[in-house]
Amino acid sequence: SDSYFFVTATGLRHLHEKKIVHRDLKPHNILLSEDSDDAEVKIADFGFAREIDPSHLMDSYLGSPLYMVCLKNLITIQNIVK
């Protein structure tokens, strides 16, 4: 059986293929359908989710503060990606 991490990543890839970004991914928003090794993984709480629009950058910082990348690290990550 696939790991919960792999299944979650596959779900996120599916969302991104559909041009949807979650914007508040954290452990509390990853749910299991039951307490077993065969549980389905479900991504929850799409309150901050948005459709990806290449003509408009998502320049606002949304999400749960305890799970957000600090601004200093975000700037470093953006410089690496460029």
> Which position among 2, 24, 45, 59 bears the catalytic label?
24
Give the other-Cβ count within 10 Å of 4's Cβ.
Answer: 12
What span, in angstroms and rounded, lies between the C-alpha atoms of 15 and 11?
6
9 neighbors 22 (Cβ within 8 angstroms): no
Short-list 48, 59, 46, CA closest to 11: 46
Give catalytic status of residue 37 as yes or no: no
Just list the catalytic residues. 24
